[in-house]
Amino acid sequence: MSVTSANISEGGSIELGGSATRKRRSLSLSAMIGGTIVAAVVVAALLSFVWTPYNPVQVDAASRFLSPSGEHWLGTDALGRDVFSNLLAGARIALLVGLITVGVGGLIGVPLGVFAAMSSGFVSVVAEKVIDLLLVFPALLLAIAFGSIWGSSTQTAMLAIGIAVAPGFARLARAGTLQVLSSEYVMAARVAGHGRLSIVVRHVLPNISGILLVQASVVYGVAVLAESGLSFLGFGTTPPTPSWGLMLQQAQTALSSHPLLSLWPAGAICVAVLGFNLLGDGLRDHFDPRLDDRR
């Protein structure tokens, strides 16, 4: 017997459904809209590696604060840099930060959550306390601490955000693992002499992958927003690397006279975060076995 879809119920438990249920369900409108937005961000980031209208970091004092035109589609900033080129290049940082953050959070949280569920007694209690301990460290505090040790950079921001989101992955993995371990096919596998590692690889991970994918999509949006906030405060990406958060920080000095300079990066951040959240909601609906009953 194989189970391939899961959902967290209101009570905090994981509900699992069969593969046939998932095959009958198409992606929702939310997932398609979110996926389209995310694809657009990815295309913008990849495009910036091979083409931008201008060099994103090139300073041109003679072209400061130009209004949008055919030459500079979104105008120029206080240093004469092309805003559209900076937006394209800033998409690279947004995607890179999200990717590393999800990777760090997943690599720390998922094994810890599975280990906590598979263990018993004192070991299980210790693992749960470690998860709770990680929850008390917000990304901003970690970024400040890491920045004071290694200096503010994109790398320290990614590491701080990744550690901050790890408890979410851990709790989700633990709840999903406990649900899978209580199923009859896992009990049968134990009777057949399968070890813990075999059960984790063959039964646990395949069955909790759906809910972990939903979590990864949501965390990706959180990471983009968190990195932008950290860069705005000076604890993330540093000049001259293009970053949406840095663009907001540099535009605040001319907010009253040139408000569009703040609008473009703020809009990019909002659209990107919205895309990842819509994609996460759509994936959640896709992996929710209760939708067929509602219909």
- CATH number of the domain to which 200 belongs: 1.10.3720.10
Q: Does the residue 177 lie in any domain?
A: yes
pLDDT of residue 189: 86
pLDDT of residue 58: 93
The 3-state DSSP class for residue 71 equals: coil
Q: Does the residue 27 lie in any domain?
A: no
* 7: enclosing H helix or E strand: strand 3-8
Separation CA 99–CA 223 (nearest Å): 9
Could you tell me the pTM of the whole model? 0.85
Q: Can you say how many angstroms the Cα of residue 66 is from the centroid of all Cα atoms in its chain?
A: 34
Q: Does the residue 174 lie in any domain?
A: yes
Q: Does the residue 227 lie in any domain?
A: yes
**Secondary structure in 3-state letters for 132-183:** HHHHCCCHHHHHHHHHHHHCCCHHHHHHHHHHHHHHHHHHHHHHHHHHHHCC
pLDDT of residue 25: 59
pLDDT of residue 179: 92
Number of domains into which the chain is organized: 1
How far are the Cα atoms of 11, 81, 295 from residue 292, in angstroms, in the given order? 20, 52, 5
Q: Does the residue 21 lie in any domain?
A: no
Q: Does the residue 2 lie in any domain?
A: no
pLDDT of residue 280: 93
Q: Does the residue 162 lie in any domain?
A: yes
Per-residue pLDDT tens, the chain, 295 aa: give them.
333 334 444 334 444 444 333 444 577 899 999 999 999 999 999 999 999 999 999 999 999 999 999 999 999 999 999 999 999 999 999 999 999 999 999 999 999 999 999 988 788 888 888 888 877 777 778 888 888 788 889 999 999 999 999 999 999 999 999 999 988 988 898 888 888 889 999 999 999 999 999 999 999 999 999 999 999 988 899 999 999 999 999 999 899 999 999 999 999 999 999 999 999 999 988 886 555 444 4
pLDDT of residue 150: 86
pLDDT of residue 289: 57
**Residue 107 structural domain:** 47-56+63-294
Q: Does the residue 283 lie in any domain?
A: yes
Cβ-proximal residues to 77 (8 Å cutoff; 6+ apart), any chain: 64, 65, 83, 86, 247, 250, 251, 261
